[in-house]
Amino acid sequence: MTGTAPVAELAALLPEGALVTDEATSDSYRHDSASSCAAGRPLGVVRPTTTAEVQAVMRWATRYRVPVVPQGARTGLSGGANAVDGALLVSMVRMNRILDIDEVDQVAVVEPGVVNADLSRAVAAVGLFYPPDPSSWELSTIGGNLATNAGGLCCVKYGVTADFVRGLEVVLADGEVVRVGRRTAKGVAGYDLTRLLVGSEGTLGIITEATLALRPAPEPALTMAAVFDKTADAMTAVARIMASGMRPSMMEFLDKASIRAVQAYRDMGLPVDAEAMLITQSDRGSLAAADVAAMGAICEELGASEVAVAEDAVESAMLTQARRLVNPAVEELGATLIDDVAVPRARLVDLLAGMEQIAASTGTLVVCPGHIGDGNMHPTVVFDRGDDAAAERARTAFDAIMRLALDLGGTITGEHGVGLLKRTWLRSELGERSYALQQQIKSVFDPLGILNPGKVL
């Protein structure tokens, strides 16, 4: 699209200040948190506050065939919210109202710009619980969580974002509004378009409202940390704990590089010579102390050199914070390519061993924290900024890790999404027929191909 008349037309459709086209502002919205993914030069940024404004944007975009990239807080790690040349960026962060918290039906109705942690605190105030808690929960928005079907630290027990979505309001590519799903706990009428839209990364529509299932607030939690001199022993402990019948509400893994990165970033007294650390939690109130003690005993039996069991909520929060600090800590080490592969728990030892070989053969640093309780690991390839040769080695290592995950019966992404970063690998995981079906689904929702083009498929 060329000329200024269409842009002036769009501005006239929106409240004053909703559309910003100056280069400095637009540039600040070009990237999500995947620093190594390419980003184009956008036409401008719209910051709507109502569904009607999103409709106006999409009708205008359809009329002029303008690509549209929906965005949340841009904490994503796969380039899914990155600009493409000439695109209109639609930032949903101003649609940030919690519309309803229903204590009887245990649901919340929210706009997409609501920050995850804000929703969690709001429902906790009335004795309820919204479990999905990505590490970026203090920044990331519900809309972004929906776009990638985000998980988090609690997903080993409670599941991922899609498990808590009852219904959605969505603006389609042509500006029409549809409601999918329902408010009720049960309902199987028709195809499950709600599940289809969750995780679609803004390629099928723009979510403007979500009805989310809540749970009763969990009982007070306690946390245990176990330090291992051998990574394989930590993996064996994970398998034993998960097979024991216990249901930890969190089970996280830090490898040696992760431990050192976090300790360098913030002095938390972490054992920098350890090869691995497990952080597990039980949220069963009066039973939590016995649970974490039993988990600790399993770890000691399997070779843990040190086991620390939190005695209260304050100590538990400190141990959990160590895990949440991994991403900012690793960013201090250099540029990053962040995988989020998932494999069956029985293949975790093979995954870690394979990554060590990949790091050695490519001459790269691979840092590997992860949600080990459900096999979702976050191997992160770190390389020097501005070093083209190092970047090429990092990309080789990144691709080798994804191939390894597929060979072990896993997936290229457990929760971060495909975006730009993993797009070339999607066909390898899905197979030709499944990939073609997904392309056909995309064409039904977005026949002009204007919604987040170049992402996912």
Half-sphere exposure of 330 (CA within 13 A, CB side): 29
Tell me how far apart the alpha carbons of residues 54 and 24 are, in angstroms, rounded to a whole number.
23
Q: Does residue 438 belong to any structural domain of this protein?
A: no
Confidence of residue 250 (pLDDT cuts 50, 70, 90): very high
Better-predicted residue by pLDDT, 311 or 62: 62
Q: Are residues 174 and 276 in the same domain?
A: no
- Residue 246 shares a structural domain with residue 334: no
Overall average pLDDT of the 313-337 stretch: 89
pLDDT tens track for 221-249: 999 999 999 999 999 999 999 999 899 99
**Same domain membership, residue 154 and residue 117:** yes
| Band (324; pLDDT cuts 50, 70, 90) | confident
113-165, pLDDT tens digit by residue? 999 999 999 999 999 999 999 988 999 999 999 999 999 899 999 999 999 99
Whether pLDDT at 364 is above 80 = yes
Task: Say if residues 155 and 132 touch (Cβ distance below 8 Å).
Answer: yes
Amino acid at 393: R
Q: How far apart, in Å, do the first and last CA atoms of the chain sit?
A: 24
User: Are 103 and 82 a contacting pair, CB within 8 Å?
Assistant: no
In a domain, residue 369? The reply is yes
Q: Last residue of a domain, which of 216, 241, 266?
A: 216
Residues 6+ apart with CB under 8 A from 102: 108, 109
Query: Is residue 275 a contact partner of residue 229, using CB atoms and an 8 Å limit?
Result: yes
Q: What is the CA 396 to chain-centroid distance, rounded? A: 23
Could you tell me if 376 and 339 are in contact, meaning their C-beta atoms sit under 8 angstroms apart?
no
What's the CATH number where 136 sits? 3.30.465.10
Strand pairing category for 88-91 and 44-46: parallel
> Which tokens in the block code for residue 439?
């392309």
**71 and 167 in a common domain:** no
Residues 6+ apart with CB under 8 A from 60: 6, 9, 10, 13, 66
Residue 80, number of CB atoms within 10 A of its CB: 31
pLDDT digits over 69-101, tens only?
A: 999 999 999 999 999 999 999 999 999 999 999
- pLDDT for 35 equals 79
CATH number at residue 253: 3.30.70.2190
Joined together, the tokens standing for residue 291 give: 């649970």
Q: What is residue 46's three-state secondary structure?
A: strand
Threshold 0.85, pTM exceeds: yes
Neighbouring C-beta atoms of residue 21, cutoff 10 Å: 16
Expressed as residue numbers, the domain containing 243 is 222-327
pLDDT, one tens digit per residue, over 15-43 is: 999 999 999 999 999 999 997 899 999 99
Regarding whether 333 and 319 lie in a shared domain, the answer is no
Q: What is the pLDDT of residues 263-307, one digit of tens each?
A: 999 999 999 999 999 999 999 999 999 999 999 999 999 999 999
Kindly state whether residues 321 and 342 are assigned to the same domain: no
Asked whether the beta carbons of 31 and 71 are under 8 A apart, the reply is: no
Q: What is the dihedral of CA 12, 15, 19, 24, to 10 degrees?
A: 130
**Mean of pLDDT values over 349-370:** 96
Interaxial angle between packed helices 5-13 and 51-64, expressed in degrees from 0 to 180 and rounded to the nearest 10: 160
Residues 109 and 211 in one domain: yes
Q: Are residues 85 and 109 in the same domain?
A: no
| Cα–Cα dist 277/424, whole Å | 33
Residue 90 in 3-state DSSP? strand
Whether the CB-CB separation of 254 and 262 falls below 8 Å is answered with yes
146 and 65 within one domain: no
pLDDT interval class at 3 (50, 70, 90): low
Whether the CB-CB separation of 112 and 53 falls below 8 Å is answered with no
**Does one domain contain both 210 and 241?**
no
The per-residue pLDDT of the chain, averaged, comes to 95
Are 384 and 397 found together in one domain? yes
Measured over the CA atoms of residue 96, residue 102, residue 103 and residue 107, the dihedral's sign is negative
Beta strands 98-102 and 107-110, pairing class: antiparallel
Sequence letter at residue 250: M
Domain assignment present for residue 205? The answer is yes
Dihedral (Cα; 280, 278, 418, 359), 10-degree rounding: 180
Q: Is residue 439 part of a domain?
A: no
- Contact predicate 6/61, CB 8 Å: no
Question: How many domains does the chain contain in total?
Answer: 4
CB-count exposure of residue 262 (10 Å: 0-12, 13-18, 19+): buried
Bridge partner list, 213: 107
In Å, how far from its chain's centre is CA 60?
A: 30
229 occurs within a structural domain: yes
- Average pLDDT (171-180) is 98
Does residue 454 lie in a domain region?
no
Q: Which residue has the tokens 């839209």?
A: 197
Residue 442 belongs to some domain of the structure: no
pLDDT of residue 2: 47
- For 309, other C-beta atoms within 10 Å of its C-beta total 18
Share of the chain above pLDDT 70, in %: 99
Kindly state whether residue 449 falls inside one of the protein's structural domains: no
Classify residue 35 as left (phi > 0), alpha (psi -120 to 50) or beta.
Answer: alpha
Specify the pLDDT at position 314: 84
Instruction: Give pLDDT, residue 4.
Output: 64
Of 91, 121, 140, the position where a domain reaches its end is 91
Query: What pLDDT is attached to residue 1?
Result: 47
